[in-house]
Every structure is written in C-alpha cells, then in structure tokens.
Structure 1
Amino acid sequence: MACRISELVLDCAEPERLAAFWSEVLGYVELGREDDGSIEIGPPGAGFGGPQPTLVLSPGGAPRTGKLRLHIDVNATDRDQDAELERLLGLGARPVDIGQDGTETWHVLSDPEGNEFCLLRRRLAPLAPPGCE
C-alpha cells in the first residue's frame, strides 16, 4: 500500500459549529486547534494516523456554491438506518433533494452548513478501541 487517507479538511464558515456537529455524528473528540481557527476532530484514543481519518474544520473564505466534488458517506454502527436518520436529524442534519427517485437505499442529508453527506443502509461493526485489536 502506498498511501492512506489520514485526514479530511473541510473549509467552513463556523468551524466550532461543524466540529460539534461532526463530533456527535461520528463519536469523535476534539484533538486540537490551530492559530488560524481550524479545529481537528478524530476518534477518541486514536487521533491522527489511527485507523480512521481525522476531520479538520478550517475557516474558509467565500461560501460554497454548487455541488461538492467530494462528500462523506456514513453508516450506523449501533442502530438501524431509520433510528440513525432520526438521530442525525435531531443533531441538525437536513434532508437534501439532489434528484433522488425514491428507490435509493440511502438518505442524502446536509450538515448545518449545507455540505451533503449520505447515510447508507448497511450497519457497520464499530472499530475496537486502540490497544484492543
């Protein structure tokens, strides 16, 4: 293997707000802050370089227009898709219509700043905490 995704960087208007949202969605914790206002979040006990990429919420300039060229897909680990959808909506996610026909097995949502992501149907096993492999 040549490379691994170590972190994803998302430019945003309100890093604090998105860090809180994505921390709740993913079960992440704050790992650090930079002088430019960026906030890095990641899995507790693992952090940067662990089995999952960290997420860096970075203050961006102009608001995004148009479709994102990259989006995040998430899967529930401890409940079914319907229960996870309700949880995500309760955290501030919003349904997004990007032309779905109603036969999809996933839900298209947006985070509080309008960045699209999908909740997939299949439940994934949670990752073992570091040191418990």
Structure 2
Amino acid sequence: MATRLVQINMKARDDSALGRFWAEALGWGVDSEGPGVTNLEPVGFARPDPSAVCIDIIARPEPKTVKNRVHLDLATTSAAHQAELVARLKDLGAAPADIGQGDVPWTVMADPEGNEFCLLTPR
C-alpha cells in the first residue's frame, strides 16, 4: 500500500496570525488544537480525505533565518488570475521575494513571517 501525504507542518512565531493569512490565501477553514497550534483544512474537509492535504502551523519562538528548504506552490488559472492573486496576497501581508530565481514565469512571494512560496503560471 502506498504512503500518502496528509499534512504539511509549518513553524511560526505567531501561529494564529500566520494561520489566518494562509486560510485567507487558500480560502480554507481555521481551527486550533489548543494554544500554539493552528490547523488549516480545505472547506468541507472530513478525515480521512484521500485527496486533501492539510496544514498545521506550530508556534516556535525562534525567527526564520534562512531560505526555506520546502515551500508551497499555488496554482493559477491564467495570467490575469495570477496578477489578481498577487495583489490579494499583498493586501493580506505577503511581499514579493527574490531568492535568486532570475527571470521565471512564476511569482515568488513571502508570507508575513518571511516563508517563501510561489504562484505558478498555468500549466
């Protein structure tokens, strides 16, 4: 039987604030297991869901200090959708990021805690 990816774990200085950012960015729901743990799930998610991956954001006091070794890629449906998403994510607190990507068709951004992610062009 194949192993299935079910959850991504992120660290944050403020798990609830970063959780709100990602919930708004993805259109997902927010829950909490308790202080220091914010859970993000697709709307309508019911465990076990064979097609969903959830995100847990765990509070940690230390700041991010180097480029992420793992990051999220978000899909877009058109150049216009990509531009709209960039603008919406900036309004939520994201910022453009230069990680040495050069001239590429996708957009690299950082969430409010500096975690890099990409907005991919349609494939």
TM-score normalized with structure 1 length = 0.82
Q: Is 1:40 equivalent to 2:22 in the alignment?
A: no
1:129 aligns with: none
1:128 aligns with: none
Q: Alpha carbons of 1:61 and 1:48: their partners in 2 closer, same or farther (altered >3 Å)?
A: farther
Aligned length: 121
Structure-to-structure mapping, 1:1-133, within 5 angstroms: 2-30=2-30, 32-50=31-49, 51-76=51-76, 80-101=81-102, 103-122=103-122
Task: Spell out structure 1 runs of 4+ moving beyond 4 A.
Answer: none
> Counterpart amino acid of 1:6?
V
| Whole-angstrom CA distance in 1 between matches of 2:87 and 2:34 | 36
| Whole-angstrom CA distance in 1 between matches of 2:47 and 2:14 | 22
Q: RMSD in angstroms over aligned alpha carbons?
A: 1.8
Q: Alpha carbons of 1:48 and 1:26: their partners in 2 closer, same or farther (altered >3 Å)?
A: farther
Q: Offset at 1:48?
A: 4.3
Unaligned runs of 5+ in 1: 124-133
TM-score normalized with structure 2 length = 0.88
Contact 2:5 2:53 in 1 (8 A): yes
